[in-house]
Amino acid sequence: MDSSVGKLSARKEAALRALLNHKTLEHAAESCNVNVRTLRRWMRNREFLARYRQEQDALLSSTVDLLRAESASAVATLAAIAKDANTPPGASVRVQACKALLDFGFKGIEIHALTERVSELERHQNEKQHEGRS
């Protein structure tokens, strides 16, 4: 965890987990027994939002790592199907699954790289602003 992000209360930790596991703010609020307005207010809080983004980044990084690990297997499967003259017609499902893994993997890597670049630019901008005040 980033040292600039302090420890959150147990309720806010539960809300973070809910936000990461549910598609809507309303479902997240319901699952952790927090009022939607309260959750919206927490989302405007700098510390809570920083932690939420940190957790999203960690989740994205884990997902990209999994996709990257499966990419080699997907490529090997595609190569085997391409080389096999006796490939059954049902192999198209496997081909589509391999293509999806590779597509998601490449997109995930791009998104992760962009996220890191934006974070670095934000850090750099914050440092410049801080230096200007000194």
In the prediction, which pLDDT does 57 show? Answer: 86
Q: What is the pTM of this model?
A: 0.64
- Count, residues in the chain: 134
Cα torsion for 92, 96, 98, 101, to the nearest 10°?
Answer: -170
The C-alpha atoms of residue 102 and residue 74 are separated, in whole angstroms, by 7
Domain ranges of the chain: 7-44, 55-133
In this prediction, residues 24-48 reach a mean pLDDT of: 94
pLDDT level of residue 3 (50, 70, 90 thresholds): very low
Residue pair 105/68 in contact (Cβ under 8 Å)? The answer is yes
Q: Has residue 17 got a pLDDT over 90?
A: yes
Q: What is the pLDDT of residue 4?
A: 46
| pLDDT given for residue 80 in this prediction | 86
The single residue listed with the structure tokens 């997902």 is 63
